[in-house]
Amino acid sequence: MMNDQLRAVLQGMPKAELHIHIEGSLEPELIFALAERNRVKLAYPGVEALRAAYAFSDLQSFLDIYYAGASVLLQEQDFYDMTAAYLARAAADNVRHTEIFFDPQTHTARGVPMQTVIDGIYRACQDSPVSASLILCFLRHLSEEDAFATLEAALPFRDKFIGIGLDSSEVGHPPEKFARVFARCKELGFHLVAHAGEEGPPAYIETALDLLKVERVDHGVRCLEDAALTARLAREQIALTVCPLSNIKLRVFDKMEQHNLLSLLDAGLVATVNSDDPAYFGGYLNENFFATFDALPLGLSHAQRLARNSFSAAFLPAGQKQAFLDEVDAYFAAV
């Protein structure tokens, strides 16, 4: 159990969040408020019944509810309100920079224009004191053709997002399914990331690196099952965006005491802590720090390393990155 001082340090330290799905920040209260505003019928009678359904057995059981929750998003203002709520919550956790995933296909498939999605999310980022950039994710349970069409529809707004990611149901949808569309995104100059090694095997991490040319791996926690892969990730300093509360809720690990965050750090990997889908998994970024530091033998030096990793792994210009790293070091020099 960590002490009060360590908790206060974790709360106050400057940090970046690199793995947050904006649709996963939609709280039940906002889901119902938007459902009413847009006259969308939900399968649950109220907030409590919806929250009670958040008992997941694996990734797919979560995704089914997550896509249902997103069905209330129709107008630009809905995307703005969702994003503004997340950014306010992130600011309260001393998040200084965030790289936000969004899933346009979840919305365009319901007839919402791409521009509505991107403009609403982007405008909220512009209005926030938190530094924020956007990463467009392809849904891997859909076809590569659909991903190409999504990229095409988003290109008129290419100045509003900095990267491309890959999410949704991992097992059975390996990275190679998206090799050609990722190659096109690389040509276009986007940063590249992909979910890999969450439920899927270590081989998916390897193909995400070799075939998709990703710069960071989202989750990646199953890398430790392959010693050669672990050594490579350490050697190449490929960052992993680890999501501890998500991993427990989706049963990647049984209990936080069994989470491998400390083992990843001990193996020399650039692990970071993130919230994934905070409205569904029981906590925003600081709750993820508190839960891991409560359950594992992590101390001040790990806190500093995780805060530094979050900025080192960010897609920021070198000067801005160094300024954040200096802020972290100044903060820890004073504790």
Q: Looking at the chain, how many residues does it have?
A: 335
CA distances from 144 to 155, 173, 195, 210 (A): 16, 10, 16, 18
Q: Which of 186, 189, 208, 188 is nearest to 197 (CA)?
A: 208
Site string for ligand ADE, 259-288 (x = CB under 6 A): -----------------xx-----------
Residue 170 near Zn ion by CB under 5 A: no
Please give the residues from 181 up to 210 whose contact with ligand ADE meets the rule CB under 6 A. Answer: 195, 198
Could you tell me the smallest distance in angstroms from the CB atom of residue 196 to Zn ion? Answer: 11
With CB cut-offs between 5 and 8 Å by kind, which of Zn ion, ligand ADE, none does residue 222 bind?
Answer: none
Number of residues that bind ligand ADE (CB under 6 A): 11
State residue 99 phi and psi, 5-degree precision.
-115, 110
Please compute Rg for the chain using Cα positions: 19
Is position 198 annotated as part of the catalytic site? Answer: yes
Q: Are 273 and 304 in contact (CB under 8 A)?
A: no
Residue with tokens 């940090």: 15
* Site for ligand ADE contains 99 (CB under 6 A): no
Q: Is 23 in the site for Zn ion (CB under 5 A)?
A: no
Residue 124 Cβ vs Zn ion, minimum distance, rounded to whole Å: 20
DSSP letter, residue 276: B
- Binding mask 138-167 toward ligand ADE (x if CB under 6 A, else -) reads -----------------------------x
Q: Find how far residue 183's CA is from the centre of its chain.
A: 22
Residue among 331, 271, 324 at smallest CA distance from 13: 331
Annotate each residue in 218-257 with x if it binds Zn ion (CB under 5 A) or - if it does not, as one string.
----------------------------------------
The yes or no reply on residue 24 touching ligand ADE (CB under 6 A) is yes
Instruction: Catalytic residue, from 99, 170, 198, 206: name it.
Output: 198
- CB–CB of 141/168 below 8 Å? yes
198 binds, options ligand ADE, Zn ion, none, Cβ within 5 to 8 A by partner type:
ligand ADE
Helix (H, G, I), strand (E, B) or coil at 125: helix
Task: Spell out the alpha helix ranges (H) of 160-274.
Answer: 179-187, 202-210, 227-235, 244-249, 261-266
276 touching Zn ion, by CB under 5 A: yes
Note the residues at the interface with ligand ADE (CB under 6 A): 21, 24, 59, 66, 167-168, 195, 198, 246, 276-277
Catalytic sites, residue numbers: 198
